[in-house]
Structure 1
Amino acid sequence: MHEFNTVDGGTKALNFSMHNVYKALDGVETSSEAGWLADIGIRELGLDSGDVSFKWLGSDHINATESNTTPYGFDSPLPKRWNYLHLNSVNKNADGDYLVSARLTDSIFKISGHDGSVLWHLGGLRSSFKLDDFNFSRQHDAQWVSPNDEVEIITFLDNGADNLDPPYGPYPTSEISSGLLVELDKRTMKARVLKRWIRPDQGLSRLRGNMQNLPGGNVLMSWSDNAYMTEHSVSGDLLAEARFTSERFVTYRAYKFNFTGMPAEAKPVLKAFAHGITQEKSSTVIYTSWNGATDIASWKYYCTGPEQDPRAIGEAARTGFVTTFYTSSYECGEVFAEAIDQDGIVMGTALPSATERPKHWGKEKCDGADLDLSAESIRSEL
């Protein structure tokens, strides 16, 4: 499938369609007059209705002579067929036009959303632009950065190599795969590289991969092999690097997004325990957690008792899924906690819970009130 991209405010989706066509080809050396072609196309569908609002077929607009691969499978019976185009990404701009990457023609092209015509090619055998001291091949994930009437800026992953050896695939066009930021000047019809992000391990991504433009100017690169991914600053500094430990696994793309969790139903929870030989020489440990809440910065802890106002006993920075808070004394009665975000706003409150005491402790007095805080009494109230 390779692509599923929501557009128009999430009301529509772009994806690829593929079907087999039996046809004759002019200008392509084959052993038979006609054969099977994998005809790949673009569909734009309404997510609610399923209605197709735009449909485009490669064979109607891109000649098979533009393919930079031999017609492997064309002369064979199905299920073999010649995949001459191999689309791997499609995006839509505000004008309703489409940016498409075609891996096996080593080209990126812009498609009119009005009539489906190809407005320009970048790279390949029919490039509309002169490439200023750079090349690319077997690219993935073409994205618009700044589309306008005179100058368009795009990004994409230049794989620079194929997984197939000649004659079925081309020789590498680069020694190292890279992410490219490219300016397309439609006044001069020249294309130039504004920025290049080199694969840090000096390798070639012969298949798959993508390039994500992050807020603030950083980029995330997926080099595919072993899910190798890197994040780079605008200036090119390597900020993060990760990969699977096993060489058996790869990934098609990688993305980085903010995730904020605020549970609709789950509430903060708390458990408190007293420790010590005697009540006079004891301490209290309190555990707090809120499953799914991501924005907790700290916890504020309070103690209360019968007919008493809450009394603050301390605060602790969140340390992970469970935060542990210690006091050097026994906090009698009930304990509760507030989850606080980085702006000091209370996000939620863990309900009061009785501090669980050692079994050898008996009754005690707290601020003049006789309390039965035996373990059995406390458990009966939990």
Structure 2
Amino acid sequence: MKDHEEWDRSLNDIPTHHCRSVGCQRPEKGLDLGWSCPKIDIDSGGLLFQWRASEHYKVEETLRSLHGEGSGERTPFDYFHINSVDKDENGRHLISSRYLNTVTCIESTGEVCWTLGGKRNEFADLSNGTATSFKWQHPARWRGENTVSVFDNQAYDRASADADRSRGMLIHVRPDEKTATLLQSFPNPRGILSLSQGSMQLLPSGNVLLGWGLAPGFTEYSSTGEVLCDAHFGAFAMRNMGWVTSYRVFKAAWVGRPRTRPEIRLTFGKQKKKTAFVSWNGATQISFWRLESTEKQHAAEDNEFVHVQTVPKKGFEGSLPLPAECSDFVRVAALDSEHKVLGYTDLVNQHNGILVSLAYTQ
């Protein structure tokens, strides 16, 4: 059996959607979806711990309407809906219930320590109601002993919205005094009201990154709340149609080394001036582009190429004018900051723009 301390450390690495749901029968009310959070030994498959929402929260505490559910085994009523579980160094779990609009802290024994938000909110709000007014929220995370972050959707549908935009929140709670204070809020700068999904990440730099879930975009803020980057990867006008979504957005250090080659295309301008355009989608280490030429269509060795010119990489696509003295065939090398070659484009005939690799197949 895996050591419990080792398991506790690895528990936070498990995606929260691995928390499973179990159908529980409620004869007097039909069927509901009783959510549970199990802790399982990976090696043996044994159940080490399990917390059941139905043992602590009543169906009547939900803020979600029936939506025609609860009448049969195939349509149990989802009244609680766990969408995140986090654990701190003291063994306390933080559970987010989207449909109760609550964040619950439980001990390692399963005992409920406190409930923040929703109908059972236990905390006096010292921030004029802004610390406990989150609704339909997503990931709740520990950010210190008594500080939590929450992605506040503020809406399940348009009719349920009490605000005009979603936000990220940092909330400080004092369990002994039963008070809650909003430390900081990060509202969407364009008025996006995300009806589902979403995430909030605190970066090592102190910046904060919010992913807008159903609305396909993300925003990075400074520690003081200044918008540093606001981007979307789907049409803004279709932000709540669900055609393009991203459940959560994370920023991390990584290196992109595509398995494909850099792409090259030639254009022919006035007075027969030619330009090579080059790009390598996904490559993150490029600092320079180097144009090379050769007289041989089947050149394979580096010593068969002449270095024509090198230009810094300034954007997604680079451009290199072809001097008149270029030989018949050209290619471009992608270079890193130390001018080491990361990859080559295909060879291209500079007279007609045909890629040599394509010419072989014709």
TM-score by length of 2: 0.70
Q: State the alpha-carbon separation in 2 of the partners of residues 350 and 334 from structure 1.
A: 13
Q: Is the 8 A contact 2:328 2:350 kept in 1?
A: no
In the aligned structure 2, how far is the partner of 1:220 from the partner of 1:324? 33
Q: Does 1:89 align with 2:81?
A: no
Tell me the distance in 2 between the aligned counterparts of 1:350 and 1:75: 60
* Corresponding residue number in structure 2 for 1:370: none
The 1:109–1:315 alpha-carbon spacing in structure 2 relative to 1, beyond 3 Å, is same
Cα deviation digits, residues 139-161 of structure 1 (max 9, x gap): 3223335222xxx2111133334
| Higher relative helix content | 2
> Do residues 118 (structure 1) and 112 (structure 2) align?
yes
Is the 8 Å Cα contact of residues 328 and 351 (structure 2) preserved in structure 1?
Answer: no
Contact 1:37 1:81 in 2 (8 A): yes
Give yes or no for contact 1:12–1:46 (8 Å, CA) kept in 2: no
Give 1:233's match in structure 2, choosing from 202, 222, 242: 222
Instruction: Indicate yes or no: 2:182 matched with 1:182.
Output: no
Matched residues in 2 for 1:227 and 1:272: separation?
Answer: 34
Distance 2:192 2:302 in 1: 70
Partner of residue 192, structure 1: 181
What are the equivalent positions in structure 2 for 1:16-35 lying under 5 Å apart?
16-23=19-26, 33=28, 35=30
Q: Secondary structure at the match of 2:55?
A: helix
Larger Rg: 1
C-alpha distance in structure 2 between counterparts of 1:116 and 1:202, whole Å: 39
Q: Confirm whether residue 340 of structure 1 aligns to residue 335 of structure 2.
A: yes
- Take 1:160 and 1:357, find their aligned partners in 2: how far apart are those partners? 58
Runs of at least 5 residues in structure 1 that lack an aligned partner in the other structure: 1-6, 25-32, 166-170, 360-375
Match of 1:296 in 2: 286
CA gap of 1:348–1:191, structure 2 versus 1, over 3 A, is same
User: Which whole-Å CA distance do the structure 1 matches of 2:329 and 2:196 have between them?
Assistant: 60
- 3-state DSSP class of the match of 1:115? coil
Deviations 1:220-258 (A, max 9, x none): 434456536544333333341535333672236341435
Distance in 2 (alpha carbons) for counterparts of 1:126 and 1:310: 74
- Residue 141 of structure 2 corresponds to 144
Q: Percent identity, please.
A: 22
1:249 aligned to which of 238, 241, 246: 241
Structure having the higher strand fraction is 1
Which residue identity is paired with 1:293? A
Say whether the 8 Å CA contact 1:140–1:210 is kept in structure 2.
no
**What per-residue deviation string (whole Å, max 9, x for no partner) do you get for residues 31-80 of structure 1?**
xx453222012234577886655432211233445434567768744444
1:61 aligned to which of 49, 53, 56: 56
Q: Residue 366 of structure 1 corresponds to which residue in structure 2?
A: none
- Report if aligned partners of 1:209, 1:252 keep a CA contact under 8 Å in 2: yes
Match of 1:316 in 2: 311
Residue pair 1:303, 1:332 contacting (<8 A) in 2 also: yes
Task: Indicate the larger mover: 72-81 or 249-258.
Answer: 72-81
Which one of 149, 153, 156 corresponds to residue 147 of structure 2?
153
Query: Corresponding residue for 2:255?
Result: 260
Quote how far apart the aligned CAs of 1:182 are.
0.7
User: Which letter maps to 1:240?
Assistant: D
Q: Is the 8 A contact 1:273 1:356 kept in 2?
A: no
Where structure 2 has 5 or more consecutive residues not aligned to the other structure, the ranges are 1-8, 296-300
Helix, strand or coil for the counterpart of 1:329? coil
**Given residue 344 of structure 2, which amino acid in structure 1 is its aligned partner?**
A
Distance 1:210 1:9, change over 3 A: closer
What is the Cα deviation at residue 268 of structure 1?
A: 5.5
Which whole-Å CA distance do the structure 1 matches of 2:276 and 2:246 have between them? 45
The Cα shift of 1:131 comes to 2.0
C-alpha contact (below 8 Å) 1:275/1:357 kept by paired residues: no
CA 1:186 to 1:268, structure 2 compared with 1: closer, same or farther past 3 Å? same
Give the deviation of 1:99 after TM superposition.
1.5
Contact 2:293 2:305 in 1 (8 A): yes
In 2, the alpha carbon distance for the partners of 1:223 and 1:125 equals 26
Corresponding residue of 1:8: 10
> Does the CA-based 8 Å contact 1:286-1:326 persist in structure 2?
yes
Within the candidate set 26, 36, 44, 1:41 is matched to 36
Aligned residues: 333
Q: Partner residue of 2:5?
A: none
CA contact (8 A) 2:136 2:156 kept: no
Q: Which one of the candidate residues 325, 340, 344 is aligned to 1:330?
A: 325
Q: 1:274/1:46 Cα in 2 relative to 1: closer, same or farther (>3 Å)? A: farther
